[in-house]
A and B are shown apart, each in its own frame.
Chain A
Amino acid sequence: MKPLELAAVALEGFSLEPSLENEKLCVTFAGTGDLDAVASLGAFLPKVHQQAISHGVEEVVFDFCALEFMNSSCFKAFVTFIDSAKTIGASYRIRFITSSKHYWQRRSLEALRRLAMGLVIIESDQES
């Protein structure tokens, strides 16, 4: 299996950890996605798409369980990612794993699900 060509991101108070397992490209988020995180996330997500295509994965999984908050600028990076995947008819699904501890996640991700019904799946950590 080809290695994942996607570097982790570690900022003060925000991190992204990518991994490849069982036909899934997983990205584990931690910390707070605020103004300082916008540029890194905006550069990271297009590479996720490239790697998902390159490895022919079935799913891209974003694990938000340790993500305390995400501002609207970071949220926009996901809108762009999902809109691109929808536009090109991506072959992978996009799954978000949320924490019931972080109330904002369900509300925010529901808006992303409405953007791409059938492509975006939201799952609670309590369902995992």
Chain B
Amino acid sequence: MLTRRDPPGEEVMLCFPPRKSYVAPATDFVTCFCSEHTPDKATLSRVQLAAHELSENVVKYAADQECTVRVRTDPSTASGGAVSLSISTENAVLPDALHRVEAYLAALEAAPNPDEFYDEQIAETAKRANGSGLGLARIRSEAAMDIRHHSQGGRLCITAILVLPRAGEP
């Protein structure tokens, strides 16, 4: 585990091999880190959902032995926002799978209404034999977090972003 303080942001990164048993500790660690920035249980529940889905994905789809989960806070530039909280995962992905997931992520990120996109995915998953294909759409809809991604050299990085309001603002 690497810990780095890089003012004004704070970041913690976990690196581990793709084992299912690491999903829960990674989720707990991210949620615990975020609890330093907000005591709000509903917000932390959203963070937990995102951390769990991202951590499961990085373990399920890793093409090598290196999975990374990173959580970071930065001062937010959004109106009313105090802290921007980012949860990122990174793993190597096989070329065919990378092409598919990037196309899916592009559609997810471009969808104007996260709930409608999620409902469409739910309707489709009922007819799909393998995989739910719901995790990332669930983060954007249920956890109300923005999703961003980039890839380089066969490694895919997916980031879920939540802006925490200033104290006293909704």
- Interface residue ranges, A against B (CB under 8 Å): 32, 34-36, 69, 71-73, 75-76, 79-80, 83, 102-104, 107-108, 111-112, 114-115
Contact = CB atoms under 8 A, between A and B. Distances in A.
A107 B114 CA distance: 13
A103 B138 CA distance: 14
Contacts, number: 67
Interchain residue pairs A-B with the least CB separation, the first 10: A103-B45, A76-B132, A83-B126, A72-B134, A72-B135, A107-B142, A72-B132, A103-B42, A73-B132, A79-B126
B122 A34 contact: no
B56 interface: yes
Interface centre among B41, B46, B115, B142 (most CB of A within 10 A): B142
Q: Secondary structure at chain A's binding surface: helix, strand, loop or mixed?
A: helix
8 contacts: A71-B135, A72-B135, A73-B132, A75-B132, A75-B134, A79-B122, A103-B45, A114-B119
Interface in B9-37: 20, 23-24
B111 to A, nearest CB: 15
A71 B53 contact: yes
